[in-house]
Amino acid sequence: MSIDDVMSSVRQYPAHWVTVTGGEPLAQKNCLQLLTRLCDASYHVSLETSGALPVDEVDRRVTKVMDLKTPGSGEADRNLWENLRYLLPQDQVKLVICDELDYLWAKKIIEEHGLADKCEVLISPSYGQMNATELAEWILRDGLNVRFQVQLHKILWGDQPGK
């Protein structure tokens, strides 16, 4: 599908907010161009990215929602730490917590990199692995400056691909 086709599809809806997601959008060769075209067309645009590919060329008008993979995810070695330099106040860093060790790791990373001062930090319990109440209690106990959220798509549709 061409960028013009995507733009035509987006215009069919009355929405003013567009999220570019699915797999890893930045792995698609025309993603950066699409993001800019959406911004130029006056859409509020967010990009959901794994944080494993560079975000330095993402249009500054786009809200980056970037994962930091925790050790419990088995993907922490994919984090591209340089991306933290390109976070803007409207951006979000998302951490999905699998267990207490992940929480302690996340807490350390948030503090070491001053993430809560750079952008919004989102922490979620890993669906089916981490008790949400327990995670919320740890956050409250430690006074972390983060936003707690649940993986709503997992609650609504479980682990179904494409949801």
Report domain extents, the chain: 1-50, 68-163
Q: How confident is the model at residue 115 (pLDDT cuts 50, 70, 90)?
A: very high
Task: Show the 3-state SS of the chain.
Answer: CCHHHHHHHHHCCCCCEEEECCCCHHHCCCHHHHHHHHHHCCCEEEEEECCCCCCCCCCCCCEEEEECCCHHHCCHHHCCHHHHHHCCCCCEEEEEECCHHHHHHHHHHHHHCCHHHHCEEEEEECCCCCCHHHHHHHHHHHCCCCEECCCHHHHHHCCCCCC
Quick one: pLDDT at residue 157? Answer: 82
pLDDT in tens, 58-81: 999 999 999 999 999 999 999 999
The pLDDT of 31-57, averaged and rounded, is: 97
More confident residue, 152 or 97: 97
Residue-wise pLDDT for 46-59, tens only, equals 999 999 999 999 99
pTM for this model (two decimals): 0.90
